[in-house]
Amino acid sequence: MIRSTIVIGLMLSMIPTFLLAGTGPRISFPELEHDFGDVRCGESPSVELTCTNTGDDVLILEQIESSCGCAKAIRGDRKIAPGSSSKIHAQIETIGMPPGRHSKAIAVHSNDPAHPRTSLKLTFNVIRHLVIDPSFLATRLSESGKDAVFTLKATNYSTKQMVLRAVTLDGSHETVLIPKEVEVPPGGKTDFQLCIRAKSGGDQSHAKGTALIETNDPIEKVLPIRYFIQFPKKHNLIPDHIQTGKNRGGPS
């Protein structure tokens, strides 16, 4: 009995004093990764991530960062008592995203000494019913005042007919869709043209922006197409002898 008491006493003496004093705040999530699965382009799925304090001191959520602006708010108290929980509301925006797998990250900063930064991962697969190719347009104009005309292809992966209509820009340039209404049959492809009348002013060497093509789809309502148009170089109309102050035909 005396021997066992001595052994237990030696074992206790080897435990660090900070462990005997308590574990402190401890951040815990049921899962560090959430998969939304298939998501239609244009949808905004959301999830509430439960954060629990499994320690014995108050857990403080100091800051939340996201790679995509997907962490919207904390539903609950930033100060979480031992055994209590709060929720982090996360939502992703898929407008303009290309089809395929995507991954976004959320970093939760807290006063947990063991895990001051906890990384959460959001994964999802974007499905598009209507795809326009190419999604980025670039050209160099050969003449000033000339319109930039691009040929595009619309592919319909759905089972209903899609219609492309009006085009708006995020800038002051004029646009025309040729034809004005583009019909894309189910499972089919249709070629069409986008005409952009870019206005060059002053020393502006190029124009860039995003054309927004409206559709009849209730979810993929707008399809963004980025463009870059380079203007032709302006020729110097002032004779060299006037610029330099020299009169080539006068006396030396």
Give me the pLDDT at residue 152, please: 97
User: Which one is predicted more confidently, 5 or 194?
Assistant: 194
Domain CATH code at residue 172: 2.60.40.10
Q: Are residues 153 and 219 in the same domain?
A: yes
User: Of 127, 143, 159, which residue constitutes the final position of a domain?
Assistant: 127
The number of folded domains in the chain is 2
Could you tell me the residue range of the domain that residue 190 belongs to? 130-230
pTM over 0.75: no
User: Following CA atoms 141, 144, 147, 150 in sequence, which dihedral angle do they give, to the nearest 10 degrees?
Assistant: 0
Question: Over the stretch 81-103, which tens digit does the pLDDT of each residue have?
Answer: 999 999 998 999 888 788 899 99
- What would the two tokens of residue 37 be? 């699965």
Give me the pLDDT at residue 96, please: 75
Give me the pLDDT at residue 15, please: 41
Residue 12 lies in a domain: no
Q: Are residues 194 and 153 in the same domain?
A: yes
User: Of 103, 127, 151, which residue constitutes the final position of a domain?
Assistant: 127
> Is the pLDDT reported for residue 246 higher than 80?
no
Mean pLDDT on 55-82: 85
Pick from 129-143, 160-174, 219-233: least confident: 160-174
> Is the pLDDT reported for residue 182 higher than 60?
yes
Mean pLDDT of the chain: 82
Residue 67 lies in a domain: yes
Residue 8 lies in a domain: no
Question: Over the stretch 105-131, which tens digit does the pLDDT of each residue have?
Answer: 999 999 999 999 999 999 999 999 999
Q: Are residues 121 and 34 in the same domain?
A: yes
Pick from 43-52, 64-73, 158-167: least confident: 64-73
Give me the pLDDT at residue 70, please: 66
Give me the pLDDT at residue 18, please: 40
Residue 69 lies in a domain: yes
Mean pLDDT on 42-52: 92
